[in-house]
Structure 1
Amino acid sequence: MAVTPLAIIAFLESRARRPLTLRDILSGLELSASDRRAAKQLIESMVHDGSLIQLKGDRFSLPRQLNLVTGRVSAHRDGYGFVAPADGGADVFVPARFMREVMHGDRVVVRVERQGRGGSREGRVVEVLERAHTTLVGRFEGGERLGFVVPVDPRLGADLLIPADATGGARPGEMVIARIDVYPGKTRNPEGRIIEVLGPVGDPEVEVLTVIHQHGLPHRFAAATLAAAEAVPETVTAEELAGREDLRGLPLVTIDGVNARDFDDAVAVRAESGGRTRLWVAIADVGHYVPAGSDLDREALERGTSVYFPDRCIPMLPERLSNGICSLNPGVDRLVLVAELLFDGQGVRLDSRFYPAVMRSAARLTYGEVRDMLLHREEAVIARHPELYPRLQEMAALAERLTAMRRQRGSLDFDLPEAEIILNLKGEPEDVVRAERTLAHRLIEEFMLAANEAVAEFLSRREVPLLYRIHEAPTLDKLIAFQQFVAHFNHGILLDGGPGGARRLQQLLASLEGAPEERMINQLLLRSMKQARYAEENAGHFGLAAEYYCHFTSPIRRYPDLVVHRILRQALTGKGMTGRQRQRWQRELPNLAEVTSQRERRAMEAEREIVALKKAQFMEGKVGEEFAGLVSGVQPFGFFVELRDYFVEGLVHISSLGDDFYHYEEERQRLVGSHRRRIFQVGEEVRVRVAKVSLERREIDFELAGIGTAARPPRRPRRRPGRK
């Protein structure tokens, strides 16, 4: 039997009294000659990825046996960092003096040199296993003999030195991409050469390109991928209808944003006897056009997801597919995979069926149109879709029942609004508003959640390998800290470790609606949660209180959905998935889960970055102006204020509060003046002045209107002699 990494680790743990040579390991594992060769290669790869440590004399040991930790380093802009252990456990703090030879994201080995209270650890980097960056993006500045690039990401540390003959024609003040030739040392900066000039700082197009390159987003399709997309037919052929159900007579509709161009889901409902409702969720059959292992497939996996910026989308698939044959445009035949679900009058799913089909969308509706019909009952809009209006009313009623069912079982609904950046024709921000989330949005969300859950349960109960979307429960210490915090706002929550924990959290969130502390408590609970991710093993979805969950409904823009489509199609054909297919998925799913989770995080970070930049640019022209706002969060270094006029948040630093000495009360998350007892806490109305905007740091600084930064705090009273 072939040796595995787990077998080697278990063997070394059992012989932990001393490091072992390669001969010790191979003989102790009792391997055949062929397995010995494979084991040698495996041990080399484990040394490379940090699972094993190779010592002098070709002896091997597990990192923890030597008080070593391997993991990725997360650097802070102030120089220090943390290493998250690859095998779990508490992060290791690394002081700035031991960070000079590493860069943010590097995979390193850290020696733990100090253990603190509460499990905290401190150490130093002893080896860099893998560099996270071969290039960086930044602003070029030139000197007489030597230029340098200031990284856009402040976590990357020191400036990159550029020799005079390696500037690539860049001029001072331009954004560039530079290759790293020499990594930082204890006493030297990194060095490199400029390989691409993006353009001048401040150009909207350059700003987007900067974020794209900073996060390593693939944004140009390879020629082979575009050629493969061009070869795909633009219309559905008669031959492709074989084996598919015909839903072209069903009034399926798409409901999307007004600017959407790719429509990958369509819905329809029908009221049936006994208060039951039948729901059809038809999803574009992207897998029919994107074969596994093809050029289209490989590039889709490399991207992992579409990325959405205020002025554009970086699609996962070429537009010929995403906006063409895979888009459920109205009035044309399209191939789909369908989840047909039957619900009772309470929203309980009674039955489900899944099958490939052909459909023809009856209408392309926008969220605004559906809102106007259902909420405002606007006759002019209803008159445009008279035959669909009753169907939409049935959809709204079903969505309401599904929402109630989810909340009853403990599904958490975080009401955290997102920013929408309004751009002018030059791509410059001219307004920042709260993104609208109406009944129409919630209607589609409920139907997509129902379909995702039904597909996951169908495949799980048949023991088919699946790429799950999981969300693990928060740790008990996180929940206890949250419980203690909300108690200061007179909100209680029982933590007994039982299955009703999620339900009680949902009840708490519902009770907060409209309260000043609603957003803060929502955010704090969200930060207490673990991050949802993809996994080959089912761990349930805590946030949705769902035992089974996967992503099935967006294969145009998410690669995991495409994987689930392929698995579902194999499970539905003939006698079901073959043994060979099962084995292949069992091999591939762990890596797919890790890669797609990483791609998703990369996209989210890039999207947040561009929104933060646009907000800073919008406020840059308003320095000195005053606005009304609400305190939205409090920290030891100051408090954040959300403006009423614009959906923008900035910091009032504690150093700008010149009327008193302020101290932070952590348990209540508020700042209190030592003498005047003025309190700054969440929900308080304040008036602020825009003091400073940093585009590089994406930060907006406010100061309280009426409190000058030059004013000195009152003197502390002197102690009288004899007083203690």
Structure 2
Amino acid sequence: MINKKKLESFFNSSSYKPMIQKEIYNALKIKNKDEKKIVRKLLKELQNEGKIYKDSKGRYKVIGKNMIVGTIEFTRNGTMAFVWTENGEEIAVPAEKAGRAIHKDKVVVEITGKWYDIPEGRVVKILDHGLKKVVGTFQPIGRAAFIIPDDPKIQYDFYVPIEFFNNAKPGEKVVGKIIKYPTPTKNPVAKIIEVLGYADDPATDFPTVVVKHDLPLEFPDKVLKEASKIPDRILEKDLRNRKDFRNEIVVTIDGPDAKDFDDAVSVKKLKNDNYLLGVHIADVSHYVKEGSELDKEAFKRGTSVYLIDRVLPMLPFKLSHGICSLVQGEDRLVMSLVMEIDREGNVVDFEVAPGVIRSHRRLVYDDVNALFKGDKVAFNKIGDLYDQLILMKELKDVLRNARKRRGAILDIEGGEVKIILDEKGNTIDIIPRERGEAEVIIEEFMIKANETIAELFYNFDLPFVYRIHEKPDPDTIIQLKNYLSAIGISFKVPKKITSKLLQELLEKTKNHPLRGSIERLLVRSMKRAVYSANNIGHFGLASYAYTHFTSPIRRYPDLVVHRLIKQFLSTNGKLTKKEITKLNDKLSKIAVHSSKRERVADEAEWDYTALKKIDYISKHIGETFDVVVTAVTKFGLFVEIIDKNISGLIHISTLDDYFLYDEERSILIGSHTGKVFKIGDKLKAKVVNANKTRMQIDFEIAKSEA
């Protein structure tokens, strides 16, 4: 009987030469219909696993040592692409070597050399098209038309035959179903399946982002059916072998709009002057069992996506807003981590165990911050918890000072803003988002909990999902140095870059008018934090081991970490070599997939925010704002309205002189007037254009400045 192992051996034998399906049947002497069916199934599996592929002549070829299967993603300017494998490997592919591959295609890449410090390759085969739909602007040309994609990573315009116009009007935003992919001589073809409306209508923003990033909306019926069977309350049997914290003063502290509460905290002072910090996290793993329909869907989504006025949850509302949410006054199952912390911020003892809590109070950041400032209204509202909250603030300072001593980066606010929308989705205002003591309390408590759990698994050398953050590349730090030099800040780059050095830089620029830009450039100069089964530490937090344990309602890796904790508790940390190998392989795939889904969610959130900012500024065309120059290029000045965190371009063609670009000093110099524009210049600029399709805002210098 044929099986996968035999078929793999057949392909890997020295005598194998590329064959079509019929030739494989003959070579393996397979004549039975049922066996042929099994072979077809196994061939598909081996293709999905990236072990073989079918060429243009239908022949099955083995993917050799210099070949890799992965998903191709193009850069925004279209000159470069990167292929990501299931194991997280990255291969650079110059656009001219990508063949007819388009963004999100699953491809076979042949490694041909090096591109900086990663492999470079060329696409030799497209295995599957990742994009099935495209969102863009409908642009008729004669009796035909094109969809111009919103996503600059898609290098093709999509041809739309007249019979597929679906009553779309010129300039409208549409969704096209791709029916033909590009050939060497023809553009891809799409038919319009939905007309969203004009780009300036805020109602088009949400569907645009959903289609562009292929975000899941409705849950499949089988997932909802499974969720419906979960009880709405805790049963007596659920309480077995759980620690009971229902008589403790445990509270949640969140934003006013929060709907799902997955973390609650408690703090006590011990007789030895140490603190006892309890971090209680919703026990989602009790309800979402591995391999269930709920679990498969949660893995597929990877994370909840939080847009300004809505959320696309990882789990159905029955769980995320119901039985898993730590709502006030209701018994809820949790995974409890209780830590004894000394005055230096060290965890001297801890215990992690399944528990049950009854949240004493649902607190809001604003109320707690007002209480700390002595607000009487806040005191009347939550003053009965004053002692506990002051103790939390005290412990927060202990933990934060400890992190500062070890060199963690603490002060990145990111110039965050709050976008206020009306009921139709129009942006009414954009205001700076302030971060108070309450937000920092929860941040410090969650960081300490995440570190404690990660260190437990790291010290036992057990398979785990870590949250890692690599050191920045020296080249990106040089760019940061050049930027700082351009705005008059001296920054020496030592041979060894440490997080402490970058924290000192942030402290040095605390009151600088370009503080927000400095922070954002600093963030861009660092690598992205990702999930990994291999621990290399977390550079930004200066943690030798870190994980995500505290948000299993909205992040899949946290749910997996909870399962690993339960496995650790039930086996006392003892696993066979075979179990360790199998688990490591599974966790590596979970980590890579979760990192990808997190990136998709982030990009969707950035795009939605950008659209709402453009919506806001489009109502102020012709108005003048105070701006700061954040970057100088040969084609103009990038400027920012600081308190709105809105960026745009003053094109060089709109300036009143012929300007030359001095790349070394990053300045523009007027050839007749000698006028100099540099980073950090404060200007008055008029908004002249705001384009949602191109995601671009154009300014001109106000005449009073000229």
TM-score normalised to structure 1 length: 0.84
Task: State the partner residue of 2:616.
Answer: 618
Picking from 386, 390, 394, the partner of 1:393 is 390
- Cα deviation digits, residues 273-298 of structure 1 (max 9, x gap): 34311111111111111111112111
- Cα deviation digits, residues 282-318 of structure 1 (max 9, x gap): 1111111111111211111111111111111111111
Verify: 1:94 aligned to 2:134, yes or no.
Answer: no
| Whole-angstrom distance in 2 between the partners of 1:386 and 1:58 | 72
Picking from 588, 613, 622, the partner of 1:590 is 588
In structure 2, the residue corresponding to 1:275 is in which secondary structure? coil
Verify: 1:284 aligned to 2:265, yes or no.
Answer: no
In structure 2, the residue corresponding to 1:385 is in which secondary structure? helix
In structure 1, the residue corresponding to 2:182 is in which secondary structure? coil
In structure 1, the residue corresponding to 2:153 is in which secondary structure? helix
Alpha-carbon deviation of 1:258?
0.6
Residue identity over aligned pairs, in percent, reads 38
Task: State the partner residue of 1:694.
Answer: 691
Closer/same/farther in 2, CA of residues 634 and 110 from structure 1, 3 Å limit? farther
Task: State the partner residue of 1:682.
Answer: 679
Closer/same/farther in 2, CA of residues 151 and 55 from structure 1, 3 Å limit? closer
CA RMSD of aligned residues (A): 3.7
Task: State the partner residue of 1:492.
Answer: 491
| Whole-angstrom distance in 1 between the partners of 2:49 and 2:243 | 52
Letter in 1 for 2:461: E
In structure 1, the residue corresponding to 2:345 is in which secondary structure? coil
Closer/same/farther in 2, CA of residues 623 and 664 from structure 1, 3 Å limit? farther
For residues 228-267 of structure 1, the aligned pairs below 5 Å read 228-267=226-265
Picking from 542, 546, 549, the partner of 1:549 is 546
- Cα deviation digits, residues 19-50 of structure 1 (max 9, x gap): x76479xxxxxxxxxxxx99x97999479849
Alpha-carbon deviation of 1:610?
0.6
- Cα deviation digits, residues 204-236 of structure 1 (max 9, x gap): 333201211110111101112222222211111
| Whole-angstrom distance in 2 between the partners of 1:574 and 1:47 | 34
Alpha-carbon deviation of 1:333?
0.8
CA contact (8 A) 2:328 2:361 kept: yes
Picking from 557, 562, 566, the partner of 1:560 is 557
Task: State the partner residue of 2:359.
Answer: 361
CA contact (8 A) 2:460 2:573 kept: no
For residues 340-359 of structure 1, the aligned pairs below 5 Å read 340-359=338-357
CA contact (8 A) 1:419 1:433 kept: yes
Letter in 2 for 1:177: V
Q: Pick 1 or 2: higher relative contact order, CA cutoff 8 A, min separation 6.
A: 2
| Whole-angstrom distance in 1 between the partners of 2:56 and 2:204 | 48
Alpha-carbon deviation of 1:181?
2.0
In structure 2, the residue corresponding to 1:472 is in which secondary structure? coil
For residues 111-260 of structure 1, the aligned pairs below 5 Å read 127-141=125-139, 145-168=143-166, 170=168, 174-198=172-196, 201-260=199-258
| Whole-angstrom distance in 1 between the partners of 2:549 and 2:563 | 10
| Whole-angstrom distance in 2 between the partners of 1:559 and 1:78 | 32
Task: State the partner residue of 1:536.
Answer: 533
Picking from 643, 657, 663, the partner of 2:641 is 643
CA contact (8 A) 2:243 2:356 kept: yes
| Whole-angstrom distance in 1 between the partners of 2:575 and 2:72 | 42
In structure 1, the residue corresponding to 2:640 is in which secondary structure? strand
- Cα deviation digits, residues 129-161 of structure 1 (max 9, x gap): 443312212334556743433322233233322
My pick for the range that moved more, 620-629 or 380-389, is 380-389
- Cα deviation digits, residues 411-439 of structure 1 (max 9, x gap): 12323122321101211111112222111
| Whole-angstrom distance in 2 between the partners of 1:379 and 1:537 | 50
CA contact (8 A) 1:49 1:129 kept: no
Letter in 1 for 2:357: M
CA contact (8 A) 2:72 2:84 kept: no
Verify: 1:502 aligned to 2:499, yes or no.
Answer: yes
In structure 2, the residue corresponding to 1:210 is in which secondary structure? helix
Closer/same/farther in 2, CA of residues 550 and 113 from structure 1, 3 Å limit? closer
| Whole-angstrom distance in 2 between the partners of 1:89 and 1:204 | 37
Task: State the partner residue of 1:524.
Answer: 521
| Whole-angstrom distance in 1 between the partners of 2:56 and 2:336 | 57
5+ residue gaps, structure 2, are 19-37
CA contact (8 A) 1:43 1:52 kept: no
Alpha-carbon deviation of 1:109?
6.1
Task: State the partner residue of 2:81.
Answer: 82
5+ residue gaps, structure 1, are 13-19, 25-36, 712-724
| Whole-angstrom distance in 2 between the partners of 1:637 and 1:457 | 50
- Cα deviation digits, residues 491-521 of structure 1 (max 9, x gap): 3345243xx8222222222222112453333
Alpha-carbon deviation of 1:102?
3.4
In structure 2, the residue corresponding to 1:192 is in which secondary structure? strand
| Whole-angstrom distance in 1 between the partners of 2:15 and 2:44 | 11
Alpha-carbon deviation of 1:251?
0.8
CA contact (8 A) 2:415 2:516 kept: no
Alpha-carbon deviation of 1:382?
1.3
CA contact (8 A) 2:176 2:192 kept: yes
In structure 1, the residue corresponding to 2:528 is in which secondary structure? coil
In structure 2, the residue corresponding to 1:218 is in which secondary structure? coil
| Whole-angstrom distance in 2 between the partners of 1:52 and 1:304 | 28
Alpha-carbon deviation of 1:101?
3.0
| Whole-angstrom distance in 2 between the partners of 1:422 and 1:437 | 17
CA contact (8 A) 1:53 1:63 kept: no
Picking from 313, 318, 321, the partner of 2:311 is 313
Task: State the partner residue of 1:705.
Answer: 702
Verify: 1:275 aligned to 2:273, yes or no.
Answer: yes
CA contact (8 A) 1:244 1:357 kept: yes
Picking from 369, 378, 381, the partner of 1:381 is 378
Alpha-carbon deviation of 1:93?
3.1
Task: State the partner residue of 2:424.
Answer: 426
| Whole-angstrom distance in 2 between the partners of 1:403 and 1:638 | 42
CA contact (8 A) 2:75 2:153 kept: yes
TM-score normalised to structure 2 length: 0.86
Closer/same/farther in 2, CA of residues 604 and 652 from structure 1, 3 Å limit? same
* Aligned residue-pair number: 677
Task: State the partner residue of 1:30.
Answer: none
Alpha-carbon deviation of 1:636?
3.5
| Whole-angstrom distance in 2 between the partners of 1:115 and 1:456 | 35
Picking from 317, 323, 326, the partner of 1:325 is 323
